[in-house]
């Protein structure tokens, strides 16, 4: 398929077998560049084979120095000019930081660099690290798709050349293992790549290059622990030859020079109080001082909007409308992800740290209705008619394996046309109509709102919350002609209980003056206890990559491997280690691409906006003892707090539910009161007297 140009100077080379090496001759032995030395072999090497080996070594050396050309020639992938620059500039640099906009193809760059290095060099050990396992696994999955020539935008790619080099250990597999402890592949030349997740303690002590994917908000501890993987100098070597003699520095020069272990940070921008921002400043200073061991490259959305190949503008994967829409929806996030601007949030003063949200985020599709007719939901509603947003937040309430109540944020609706220029919320009757539709969607087919745990409403005067109950207490008929019972807060609307006897007590009206401090304290508690999970940050791709563990296959593989290790009489100390290693080779995780509809995308964007509001909320001390919670002053005119307030409402109800569960929990004693006292068995007495 490719023409290999024959070297004209092959005749200059001569082949010499060395039976032994005299130390006195070491200094002059390798001066002749046209002599190839090798140890004695059983079979003589033909001149034709020698010529081919020389040709291959020349080609390999050329591509080791020209990775962009290698990607073009062997994978048939033509990089954008900016991508080509990153590949070439960072190829052998030990410390790399790339700050890039969404839509630039960060994962593609990572994958092509890994594939190229793995093929061109032996024993390249690489790790992909991210805050969540799903992000690293998504990058790994993209690499698989390239290897299988399954990327729509890469027409005519020849990734199968790489796939042919992947070592296949399982006859039923393709060499790409998807274990519960990470994804991995190995090449026949000893190179391998493996994904890492946030379980730091189990990953200490590894060595190799580390690529930190979307690392803007990774913890300092994770960056430090994983960064230590690349601390070892790969060109250091010592030892003895087969005769027992020390390998001196002269002979060490004959060993191949390895690529340095690399710390490769690539992400969109983060906040100024993150470790990523500190590294960005540190690497930039060293690059400006002329230190070639450091490289910082920044690519904002303006480059992405006008990409070039060999200087000619080509079609972009990103549009100006997308950026403008994101700027209106969530300006803070858009500035970071598209314009590479490091933003400021509440930092150490924030009541909720971004890292807490990150560790409780998971890649999943937002839920727009009760898909099982059995799930339980809480709806929090903050009405507004003027400047603020009018928001409805939906949280699924469930019981975990320990019997404790937990929450899962599944949807967030802004009753304002997202992405359009109309800034005022819907009129109140329209808001109520939409709220009723959501109530029915999440209740499913259950009678009397049995799947709705509560509808929490901000009863503040600004949004007319105290009047919302007037629209809900009366029985009503939906668009399909079905009649439904009204909803009431029997405590708040005690005077109306007799007037609306059919209304169900599922409504809770909470005045902010009385409850705001209480609900935010509950939010802090629930977040610190990891009781609420969120959807992962949305990257506007229009789809999500989901990973599902095949429990049946996993348990089967685990049982099989355990039995084999027991038959081998592996020691107890080595058993778990070997079990984990073998499980990594199994493919118990399936990858699924889910396309999102517009409503699901809007839900994800609103949840992201809610997170942004949460990390910018701070506590303000008051002499009364009841603290207030507000946006930091610099964000007061840029952000709203309505989504955050709804989040606090849900957290408060969850905390009340958990407390109620603890109070009502029956204590089961396995022992009686008498068992608590030490007693001896009575001895029989035959005689009372005598």
Mapping DSSP onto H, E and C, the string for 11-70 reads HHCEEEECCCCCHHHHHHHCCCCCEEEECCCCCCCCHHHHHHHHHHHHHHHHHHHCHHHH
Pairing of strands 476-477, 376-382: unpaired
Q: What pLDDT, in 10s, does the model give residues 440-464?
A: 999 999 999 999 999 999 987 555 6
Cβ atoms of residues 463 and 425 within 8 Å: no
Report pLDDT for 137: 86
- Among residues 636, 555, 542, which one has the least CA distance to residue 594? 542
**pTM score of the predicted model:** 0.73
Report pLDDT for 358: 85
Helix (H, G, I), strand (E, B) or coil at 264: strand
Distance in angstroms (rounded) separating the CA atoms of residues 86 and 230: 20
Pairing of strands 308-309, 294-299: unpaired
Report pLDDT for 688: 43
Provide the angle, in degrees to the nearest 10, between the axes of the packed helices 106-120 and 67-75: 90
Report pLDDT for 421: 47
Phi, psi (degrees; rounded to nearest 5) at 214: 45, 60
| Mean pLDDT per 10-residue section of the chain, whose length is 690 residues | 42 62 56 63 69 86 94 93 96 95 92 95 90 77 90 83 88 75 88 78 68 88 83 56 59 60 93 91 96 95 93 89 87 91 81 88 94 96 75 96 94 72 71 94 94 92 70 92 94 91 94 91 95 92 80 73 80 73 66 90 94 92 83 83 95 94 62 51 48
Q: What does the angle CA 317 – CA 322 – CA 323 come to, to the nearest 5 degrees?
A: 100
Report pLDDT for 541: 84
> On the CB side of 489, how many CA atoms lie within 13 Å of its CA?
21
Report pLDDT for 593: 85
- Mark out the alpha helices in 594-638 (DSSP H runs): 598-614
The owner of tokens 């030892």 is: 239
Pairing of strands 294-299, 95-100: parallel
Q: What pLDDT, in 10s, does the model give residues 376-396?
A: 999 999 987 555 678 999 999
Phi, psi (degrees; rounded to nearest 5) at 95: -125, 110
Distance in angstroms (rounded) separating the CA atoms of residues 222 and 219: 5
Mean pLDDT taken over the chain? 82
Report pLDDT for 77: 93
Element at 438 (helix H, strand E):
helix 428-443
Question: How far from each other are the two terminal CA atoms of the chain, in whole angstroms?
Answer: 114
Report pLDDT for 89: 95
């Amino acid at each position: 398929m490719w023409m290999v140009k024959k070297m004209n100077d092959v005749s200059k080379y001569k082949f010499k077998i060395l039976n032994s090496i005299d130390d006195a001759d070491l200094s002059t032995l390798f001066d002749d560049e046209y002599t190839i030395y090798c140890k004695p072999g059983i079979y003589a090497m033909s001149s034709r084979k020698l010529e081919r080996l020389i040709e291959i070594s020349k080609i390999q050396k050329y591509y080791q120095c020209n990775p962009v050309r290698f990607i073009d020639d062997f994978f048939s992938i033509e990089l954008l000019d900016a991508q080509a620059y990153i590949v070439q500039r960072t190829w052998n640099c030990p410390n790399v930081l790339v700050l890039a906009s969404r839509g630039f193809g960060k994962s593609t760059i990572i994958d092509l660099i890994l594939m190229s290095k793995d093929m061109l060099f032996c024993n390249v050990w690489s790790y992909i690290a991210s805050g969540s396992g799903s992000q690293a696994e998504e990058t790994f999955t993209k690499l698989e798709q390239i290897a299988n020539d399954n990327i729509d935008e890469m027409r005519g790619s020849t990734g199968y050349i790489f796939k042919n080099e992947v070592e296949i250990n399982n006859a039923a597999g393709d060499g790409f293992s998807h274990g519960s402890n990470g994804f991995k592949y190995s090449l026949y030349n000893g190179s391998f790549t493996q994904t890492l997740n946030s379980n730091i303690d189990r990953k200490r002590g590894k060595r190799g290059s580390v690529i930190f994917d979307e690392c803007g908000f990774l913890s300092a501890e994770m960056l430090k622990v994983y960064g230590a993987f690349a601390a070892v100098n790969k060109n250091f070597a010592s030892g003895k030859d087969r005769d027992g003699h020390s390998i001196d520095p002269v002979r060490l020069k004959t060993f191949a020079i390895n690529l340095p272990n690399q710390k490769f940070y690539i992400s969109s921008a983060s906040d100024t109080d993150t470790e990523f921002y500190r590294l960005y400043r540190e690497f930039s200073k060293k690059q400006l001082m002329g230190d070639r061991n450091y490289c910082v490259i920044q690519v904002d959305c303006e480059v992405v909007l006008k990409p070039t190949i060999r200087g000619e503008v080509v079609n972009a994967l990103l549009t100006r409308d997308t950026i403008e829409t994101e700027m209106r929806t969530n300006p803070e996030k858009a500035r970071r992800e598209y314009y590479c601007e490091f933003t400021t949030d509440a930092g150490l003063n924030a009541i909720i740290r971004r890292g807490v949200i990150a560790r409780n985020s998971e890649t999943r599709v937002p839920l727009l209705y009760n898909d099982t007719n059995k799930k339980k939901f809480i709806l929090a509603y903050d009405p507004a008619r003027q400047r603020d947003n009018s928001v409805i937040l939906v949280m699924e309430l469930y019981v975990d394996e320990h019997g404790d109540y937990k929450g899962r944020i599944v949807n967030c609706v802004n009753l304002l046309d997202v992405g359009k220029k109309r800034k005022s919320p819907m009129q109140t009757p329209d808001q109520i109509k939409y709220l009723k539709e959501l109530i029915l969607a999440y209740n499913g087919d259950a009678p009397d709102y049995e799947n709705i745990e509560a509808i929490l409403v901000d009863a503040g005067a600004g949004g007319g919350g105290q009047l919302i109950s007037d629209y809900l207490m009366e029985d009503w008929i939906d668009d399909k002609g079905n009649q439904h019972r009204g909803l009431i807060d029997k405590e708040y609307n005690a005077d109306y209980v007799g007037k609306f006897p059919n209304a169900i007590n599922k409504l809770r009206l909470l005045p902010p003056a009385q409850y705001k401090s209480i609900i935010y304290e509950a939010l802090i508690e629930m977040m610190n206890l990891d009781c609420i999970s969120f959807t992962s940050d949305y990257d506007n791709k229009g789809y999500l990559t989901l990973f599902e563990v095949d429990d049946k296959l996993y348990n089967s593989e685990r049982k099989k491997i355990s039995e084999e290790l027991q038959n081998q009489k592996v020691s107890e100390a080595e058993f778990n280690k070997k079990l984990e290693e073998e499980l990594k080779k199994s493919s118990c995780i399936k990858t699924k691409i889910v396309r999102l509809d517009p409503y699901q995308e809007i839900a994800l964007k609103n949840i992201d906006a809610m997170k942004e509001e949460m990390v910018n909320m701070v506590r303000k001390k008051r002499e009364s003892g009841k603290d207030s919670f507000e946006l930091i002053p610099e964000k007061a005119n840029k952000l709203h707090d309505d989504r955050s307030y709804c989040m606090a409402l849900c957290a408060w109800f969850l905390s009340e539910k958990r407390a109620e569960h603890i109070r009502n929990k029956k204590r089961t004693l396995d022992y009686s009161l008498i068992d608590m006292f030490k007693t001896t068995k009575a001895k029989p007495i035959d005689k009372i007297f005598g």
